[in-house]
Amino acid sequence: MSLISAGLEIVVEHYQNPSDAPLSISATLAATGVSLLGTVLLSGFVCGVVGATVHGRKRRNLAEAARSLPWKRLVVADILVTITVLIGLLLVVLPGLVALTLLAVVGPVIEIEHRRVLSAFRRSVHLVRQHVWLVILLGTVPLALAAELEAVAPEPDRTDEIAEFLLIRGVVMGIVEACLALILVEVCFRLIDADRL
């Protein structure tokens, strides 16, 4: 999915007519949508694998994970977390990092505890506040580093830059996102277990 999203991004930014506003907006929304849905699917699949392997939950294959995900809640939560963090980063960097830390496990909370979006926001804040340094180390820092890695991809103006862009944004970022999902899901399970004690 990361590779498809990166390819769509190249098409949107470099090969479509920017004066055609409806096409430009549609292409941008399509690229963003593919990226968002891919991230949600990856996170859901990883949550299922970790839940089955480590925490005794029912094992699901990719198709079962895709069917059982609360897509609407996860997409809405992802958009709201992104907007909250961006607003915080625009105000001053520190509020954005605080928001990123406190909301780091919203998605896994929705999947693991079957919560609604606002309830998952409150639960994430509650869980993270008790172990903030753990979440900063295993959540905030890796997420910030991943954003920096994504930013080093060259602008794909020439063929060799397109290949490098696809390698970094498609392949490398796909692996990084899978690792981040694994870390955040396991952190969420640990925070939930610690909260029950």
Higher pLDDT, 164 or 133: 133
Minimum mean pLDDT range among 37-51, 128-142, 173-187? 37-51
- Alpha carbons within 13 A on the beta-carbon side of 48: 19
Higher pLDDT, 131 or 21: 131
* Contact criterion met (CB below 8 Å) for 88 and 95: yes
* Contact criterion met (CB below 8 Å) for 170 and 7: yes
d(CA 99, CA 31): 25
Is pLDDT above 90 for 155? no
Q: How confident is the model at residue 151 (pLDDT cuts 50, 70, 90)?
A: confident
∠ CA 126-109-176, nearest 5°, is 110
Q: How confident is the model at residue 17 (pLDDT cuts 50, 70, 90)?
A: low
pLDDT at position 27 is: 67
DSSP 146-165: HHHHHHTSPP--SHHHHHHH
Q: Please return the burial class of 61, using the count of CB atoms within 10 Å of its CB with bins 0-12, 13-18 and 19+.
A: exposed
The three-state secondary structure class of 70 is: coil
pLDDT at position 93 is: 80
Q: How confident is the model at residue 127 (pLDDT cuts 50, 70, 90)?
A: very high
116-135 CB burial, b ≥16 within 10 A, e <16: ebeebbebbeebbeebeeeb
pLDDT tens sequence across 100-119? 999 999 999 999 999 999 99
- The percent of residues in the chain predicted with pLDDT above 90, rounded, is 34
pLDDT at position 166 is: 78
d(CA 154, CA 191): 38
